[in-house]
Amino acid sequence: MSNTDLHKTSSIDQCKIIDFGKHHHPNGNLSVAENRDLVPFDIKRVFYIYDVPGGEERGGHSHKSLQQVIIAISGAFDVLLDDGVNQRNVTLNRPYLGLLVTPGVWSKEHNFSSGSVCLVLASDHYDESDYVRNYDEFKLLTSNKPLNKHT
């Protein structure tokens, strides 16, 4: 199966919340994300988004093969997931919870609270050719999916 075929088989149901747990200590809490433990891939890239102006959005793309875990390290924001048939909005507002976003799923981060920080763990290095940034192209790649509406 080619990478673009993942758009035909992807589902927002494959995207899930990962609970990293919280190790409580009187001097501060600790959460751990490790390769192939709770994170289902080897982490090859880490980046974070911050100082997002009010009303702005980030993301707005899908990936052909890259997987991501998105974490609200500080503050809160919503992630819109779209598999071409179904959509779901997920609110991230706890630093010990991450959202696994699988290949072929369009994701868009929005509704950022003031001072929020979005941390992303990625399964590979940056590669522009892995991105689908045009929503019409994404819809074309996801066409002919079974119309099992998400409830």
In sequence order, what are the residues at sequence separation of 6 or more whose Cβ sits closer than 8 angstroms to the Cβ of residue 135?
60, 106
What CA–CA distances, in Å, run from 54 to 1, 11, 48?
A: 41, 30, 17
Task: With beta carbons less than 8 A apart as the criterion, state whether 104 and 82 touch.
Answer: no
Instruction: Give CA–CA dist 44/56, Å, rounded.
Output: 27
Instruction: Give CA–CA dist 19/21, Å, rounded.
Output: 5
- Burial label for 135, CB within 10 Å (0-12, 13-18, 19+), is middle
Active site residue: 7, 24, 25, 61, which one?
61
Tell me if residue 61 is catalytic.
yes
The set of catalytic residues is: 61
